[in-house]
Amino acid sequence: MTHLELYKNLIDGIFGSGTATFNPSPNTTNKVIGALASNTDFVDFQCNFAARLKRLQTAYTGHPSLTALIIQVNLVADNKNWQGAVAELAAYDYFISKRDFLSRLPILDVNINPSESLASLFSVQQANVDVYFDTLGVYSDIKVLKDNVSEILDGIYRKIWPNNKPLIRAEFPRDATFELLQNNLDSVFRLLNAAVSGVKKPRLVDASSVVADLFFRLDWTRGMLITSTSYSPYSHAENTCGLPLIHAKKFLTKHPFFLTFVLFPWFNNVVNSFNGLNKIYYRSLSRRVFCQYRNDPSLFSVRSSRFTGVHTIFEVTRNLGAMLFLEDNSILSTSPEKTNVVGHYFENLNAYHPPSCGPMESYLRDLIDGSFDDFTHDNY
């Protein structure tokens, strides 16, 4: 059976026959579908993922949002959209884990009036967000926090040598901004492609003339290639603080709104909990987004040519009430009865509509099992 056929059987068995809407015949896969299909590995992940689907099925059966949920369940099988789908399912599972604070389940995939968000200033005619806590009056949109640098580099490797031989690995700071690499992608590809051609012994390729601190190690002989790198959570936050602003068209102007970022090792293994580096990164990133533009008169249109408003960057960030970082630990956990997700919440003290005002505060205080900060004494 193909990996897709096995996944079809899994979701049809949980949600009912006919749940799978994708073609199960192609012999295609992705990291999650492949792990679920394994006969020897990832047993804990298989149990945890199935338990997550069962919890969601139990909660949303008979609910108007069941259709939206099943769409994401199917998208896990999509090679282009699996990361976002996995992220949304993890977030849904986490949000309903404290249902005692919710008189009704969160509504999924909610259409909103573009005039009530910044979408109208991006010339967007239709707008929606992923989650609406209707009894609490708060909205959230779910995004993948992925390792863009590794994704770009892997794409270069596959393009140069599809079978991954010779071994090609980069030495590049893990906290670097992906824009540097993305903006010089063609030059990096040409340099590396030329270095691979005709060379039959291990060598170091210096690409720092194209992208600072970028080197490649090539090896034709060994089965293992060792490289070195560096990482600082503060530098990482500085280099990636523009990522939340990419989603500015989702920011709501009339209601409390927060972004939910999901981290999962199969699309981000840069941020990790060693020595608390994850918490440092989340807080530093949030503080930069919420506070660093307070005295900056720069217009947001300088960052995005599609933005038609006259707002400053700071005024745009004030429509983002908070950021929630969810760490999905379901790959190795041995507790399928739990969500296996840890949340770290950081609220924007400068927000027009902070989410924790009113009944949402009790829900958040009980929901968040990691960091919780509102920068009350750090807003400068």
Q: What is the pLDDT of residues 312-359, one digit of tens each?
A: 999 999 999 999 999 999 999 999 999 999 999 999 999 999 999 888
Q: How many helices (H) and strands (E) does the chain have?
A: 12, 10
Selection from 39, 37, 44, 7 nearest residue 337 by Cα = 44
Instruction: Give yes or no for residue 223 having a pLDDT over 80.
Output: no
DSSP state of 275: G
Q: Which two tokens stand for residue 242?
A: 């523009």
278 and 350 fall within a common domain: yes
C-alpha–C-alpha distance, residues 267 and 33, integer Å: 14
C-alpha–C-alpha distance, residues 213 and 233, integer Å: 18
Average pLDDT, the chain: 92
31 and 169 fall within a common domain: no
Q: Is 72 part of any domain?
A: yes
C-alpha–C-alpha distance, residues 14 and 56, integer Å: 10
In degrees rounded to 5, what are phi and psi of residue 125? Answer: -85, -25
Q: Is 89 part of any domain?
A: no
309 and 326 fall within a common domain: yes
128 and 275 fall within a common domain: yes
CB-based contact 56:62 (threshold 8 Å): no
Domain that holds residue 192: 148-219
186 and 317 fall within a common domain: no
Selection from 112, 127, 60 nearest residue 89 by Cα = 60
CB neighbour list of residue 62: distance below 8 Å, 6 or more residues apart? none
The pLDDT assigned to 152 comes to 83
Selection from 344, 342, 348 nearest residue 374 by Cα = 348
The pLDDT assigned to 200 comes to 64
C-alpha–C-alpha distance, residues 75 and 20, integer Å: 10
The pLDDT assigned to 217 comes to 83
* Residue ending a domain, choose from 189, 219, 249: 219
Share of the chain above pLDDT 70, in %: 96
Q: Is 126 part of any domain?
A: yes
Mean pLDDT within 224-234: 76
Q: Is 53 part of any domain?
A: yes
Rounded alpha-carbon distances, angstroms, from residue 379 to 241, 290, 292, 350: 16, 8, 9, 8
253 and 284 fall within a common domain: yes
Instruction: Give yes or no for residue 189 having a pLDDT over 60.
Output: yes
Confidence of residue 166 (pLDDT cuts 50, 70, 90): low
- Residues 256-286 pLDDT 10s: 999 999 999 999 888 988 889 999 999 999 9
Q: Is 378 part of any domain?
A: no
Q: Is 296 part of any domain?
A: yes
Confidence of residue 220 (pLDDT cuts 50, 70, 90): low
Instruction: Give yes or no for residue 196 having a pLDDT over 80.
Output: no
Instruction: Give yes or no for residue 194 having a pLDDT over 90.
Output: no
The pLDDT assigned to 228 comes to 67
Q: Which two tokens stand for residue 141?
A: 């949109």
The pLDDT assigned to 199 comes to 62
- Residues 287-320 pLDDT 10s: 999 999 999 999 999 999 999 999 999 999 999 9
Q: Which two tokens stand for residue 23?
A: 């073609």
The pLDDT assigned to 163 comes to 64
Q: Is 84 part of any domain?
A: no
Confidence of residue 165 (pLDDT cuts 50, 70, 90): low
274 and 352 fall within a common domain: yes
Q: How many domains, the chain?
A: 3
261 and 363 fall within a common domain: yes
Confidence of residue 117 (pLDDT cuts 50, 70, 90): very high
Q: Is 115 part of any domain?
A: yes
334 and 242 fall within a common domain: yes
Task: Return contacts of 277-281, CB within 8 angstroms, 24+ apart.
Answer: 277/231, 277/233, 278/233, 278/325, 278/327, 278/344, 279/344, 279/370, 279/371, 280/233, 280/234, 281/233, 281/236, 281/237
- Give me the count of residues in the chain: 380
7 and 136 fall within a common domain: no
C-alpha–C-alpha distance, residues 295 and 229, integer Å: 35
70 and 190 fall within a common domain: no
Q: pTM for the complete prediction?
A: 0.91
138 and 238 fall within a common domain: yes
* Residue ending a domain, choose from 197, 219, 241: 219
